[in-house]
A = this chain, B = another copy of it.
Amino acid sequence: MDEGLLKQMRFEAEEIFRCSLEAVDPYEAVKRFVRVQGDRLILGTKDRPPVELDLTKFRRISLVGGGKATAPMARAMEDLLGNRIHKGVIVVKYGFTEKLLLTDIIEAGHPLPDTNGVKGTEKILDFLKGAGEDDLIFSLISGGGSALLPYPAGKITLEEKQELTLSLLECGAGIDEINAVRKHISSSKGGQMARAAYPATIINLMLSDVVGDKMDVIASGPFVPDSSTFKDVMEILEKYDLNDIPRVIREHIKAGLEGQIPETPKADDSIFDRINNFVIGSNIIALEAAREKAEQVGYKALILSSMVEGETREVARVHSAIAKEIARTGLPVSPPACIISGGETTVTIRGKGFGGRNQEFCLAAALDLAGLPSRVVVLSGGTDGNDGPTDAAGAIVDPDTVSRGEALGMKAIEFLDNNDAYHYFERTNDLLMTGPTNTNVMDVRLVLVR
Interface residues of A (CB under 8 A from B): 212, 284, 302-311, 314-315, 317-318, 321-322, 324-325, 328-329, 331-332, 343
Given A212-B324, A311-B311, A324-B212; A331-B305 close (CB under 8 Å): yes
- From B284, B309, B325, give the contact of A307 (CB < 8 A): B325
What 4 additional pairs, Cβ within 8 angstroms, besides A305-B324, A306-B329? A304-B321, A304-B332, A306-B331, A310-B321
User: Which B residues lie within 8 Å of A311 (CB)?
Assistant: 311, 314
Q: What copy number does this chain have within its complex? A: 2
User: Which B residues lie within 8 Å of A302 (CB)?
Assistant: 332
- From B212, B306, B308, B325, give the contact of A306 (CB < 8 A): B325
Given A315-B318, A318-B315, A318-B318; A325-B305 close (CB under 8 Å): yes
Give the distance in Å from the alpha carbon of A317 to the alpha carbon of B318 in the complex: 10
A321 CB → nearest B CB, Å: 4
A331 CB → nearest B CB, Å: 5
Contact B307 A324 (CB under 8 A): yes
Contact A309 B332 (CB under 8 A): no
A295 CB → nearest B CB, Å: 14
A291 CB → nearest B CB, Å: 9
Give the distance in Å from the alpha carbon of A317 to the alpha carbon of B284 in the complex: 18
Give the distance in Å from the alpha carbon of A240 to the alpha carbon of B81 in the complex: 70
A318 CB → nearest B CB, Å: 5
Given A284-B329, A324-B212; A310-B317 close (CB under 8 Å): yes
Contact A322 B310 (CB under 8 A): no
Contact A304 B322 (CB under 8 A): yes
Give the distance in Å from the alpha carbon of A188 to the alpha carbon of B324 in the complex: 30
Give the distance in Å from the alpha carbon of A289 to the alpha carbon of B242 in the complex: 53
Q: Which residue of B lies closest to A343 (CB)?
A: B321
A48 CB → nearest B CB, Å: 12
Give the distance in Å from the alpha carbon of A311 to the alpha carbon of B315 in the complex: 9
- From B284, B303, B308, B318, give the contact of A310 (CB < 8 A): B318
7 residue pairs, one from A and one from B, having the closest CB atoms: A314-B314, A310-B317, A305-B325, A305-B321, A307-B321, A310-B314, A308-B321
Q: List 11 A-B contacts (CB under 8 A).
A: A304-B321, A304-B331, A305-B318, A305-B321, A306-B331, A307-B328, A310-B317, A311-B314, A314-B315, A315-B317, A315-B318
A183 CB → nearest B CB, Å: 19
A339 CB → nearest B CB, Å: 9
Give the distance in Å from the alpha carbon of A373 to the alpha carbon of B328 in the complex: 37
Contact A318 B308 (CB under 8 A): yes
User: Which B residues lie within 8 Å of A284 (CB)?
Assistant: 325, 329, 331
Give the distance in Å from the alpha carbon of A125 to the alpha carbon of B361 in the complex: 47
Q: Which residue of B lies closest to A287 (CB)?
A: B331
User: Which B residues lie within 8 Å of A212 (CB)?
Assistant: 324, 328
User: Which B residues lie within 8 Å of A325 (CB)?
Assistant: 284, 303-307
Most B CB contacts (10 A, CB to CB) among A308, A332, A343 go to A332
Q: Which residue of B lies closest to A303 (CB)?
A: B331
Give the distance in Å from the alpha carbon of A321 to the alpha carbon of B310 in the complex: 10
A54 CB → nearest B CB, Å: 32
Q: Which residue of B lies closest to A211 (CB)?
A: B321
Q: Which residue of B lies closest to A319 (CB)?
A: B318
User: Which B residues lie within 8 Å of A304 (CB)?
Assistant: 318, 321-322, 325, 331-332
